Structure 1
Amino acid sequence: MALLVMACAGAAVDHEALGDRAYANRNFADALVEYRLAVRQRTPPNPALRAKAGAAALHAGDLSAAVDEYRALAVEGGESRVLEAADGLEYVARAAAEADDRVALAAALMALRQVDAGRVLGTLALDLASAVSAETRPGDAVRVLPYAAAGAPDARRQDSLLYVYGNALSRVGRCADAIGVFEGVARRHREGVVLAPAQRDLARCALQLGRRALEEGQPTEAEGWFRRAAAGDDQDVVHRAAFLGLGDVLFARGDMVGAAEAYQRSLAGAEPGDSLAQVVAERLNAIGSGAGIIR
């Protein structure tokens, strides 16, 4: 019986050696399988095997597996392996960006933030930014752009990327988050090209949030959003619509003077046949008929 046990032990498969052989022969997918089997055999965990598995997964094009292995390397290897794990994750992120694999890219960037939050992405930030275009789905842009902005080479480029990030947030229905981004870009005045668009989109998001609050029966919150949307001297349709919303809030509260003032301001810049102006005229007539303010 003892001889049988010894024979079985001697016949145990050396998966690490098989993985090394497959890797040397550029059979990276097979190497990954063998390294993962070797990881299961080892107690305690062996960081060197994790590093080998991560490299095999990266070369095999299994980017999600590479993320898992490099993340595990950082956890199991401790501080001495953090830099190696972060380097591996950056390689994965670059490969994912080149392959337009947004799922793997998001996973790699998230793991990189967990492993080495202060890492400067350098040229990777530019690669990430260039991968975002008008055709990019907003959800993908939301996942990628914060990292691209964080690694931007200068303040102007950073604010330019942040503006695009805010725009993507608004397109996925996250105006409450987008407003903070737009406000930061507008406040810093570091990139003139996106300053006016940021202010315009800030007003648009505030208008949307004001309307939503009004529909949900929250007039006080709606008033705050409408006032933010109406801030400034612009007379475009967004600002005029914000004054209309503000007038509706004040009218419902019984503040006829305030409502009439807001409605009058929403007429500024209106052209003949303007549909918004027609709505405002109806509101003013209602005030005039009911309260004798507008004659």
Structure 2
Amino acid sequence: MVAAPQAGVPGARRPSASRRRSWVGWRFVGPFVAVFALVFLAPIGYSIYLSLFRTQLIGGTAFVGADNYTEVLGDAQFWSAFGRVAVFLAVQVPIMLLLALLLALAIDSGRLYGAGFFRISVFLPYAVPAVVATLMWGFMYGTRFGLVGNINEAFGISLRDPLSPDLVLASIGNIVTWQFVGYNMLILYSALRVVDPALYEAAEMDGAGQLRIIWAIKLPALRGALSIATIFSIIGSFQLFNEPSVLKSLAPNAITSYFTPNLYAYSLSFAGQKFNYSATVAIVMGVITMIIAYAVQLRGLRKES
């Protein structure tokens, strides 16, 4: 019988230090990896799995491969919903970021009286749940029972219905801007606070005015923060769901079941029982959002370099 090698004896096997360190690292990141796989990777994988099948009343569930994706790419309702959120993105996001930029610059200037209170007041709407904010604005938009109706009655005028088909997208944009302008303002203001005050002092000694300081110092310092805020806003625009979903009962003639891609996927799944096609719509929309957000990120990195 051969004795096993012991410590201190030539030929004895010892676990390497690098191997021990690697296991220690996995013990730290293991719980996060498990949760990440469970709540992020697993739903995506299951959605992809669902998108490869089709459930029919006659014949049951059958594997169809990429047929669902081909159908989505030719779906007029999907592209109508995508075009609507694309217009929303092109109009609402620049307006919101411009307002956030102006507010951040005003607070950072040091010339605003009660800047702390003003900052909290602007950020406060972000703390309001989206459903509550939409219900509040929806009732204010009402022409028979809300603020618009009260104004019409008090002044004897006839303002257009904010929830009409022509104005409902702008009304939703107003709600989203009210909710998130403070959030984006805080991102930009935080970026301004890390600028070295010596740069401002040097610029003032050289005779630079406030507009010159903003253009030459503050705006370049905000490029990274603006890129982040833009990416978050793009993702949020393509995920538009709460506002049209809540307002649908108040404006049934203006908001259809395919008003936005997310609302379309929801309607397909829970109203139309088309789970496989709904998963396909969600995946296609997710890929489009990822591509656009990544393109914006690359452009932001090029500008910074």
TM-score, length of structure 1 as denominator length: 0.18
Higher Cα Rg, which structure: 1
Q: Which has the higher contact order (CA 8 A, sep 6+)?
A: 2
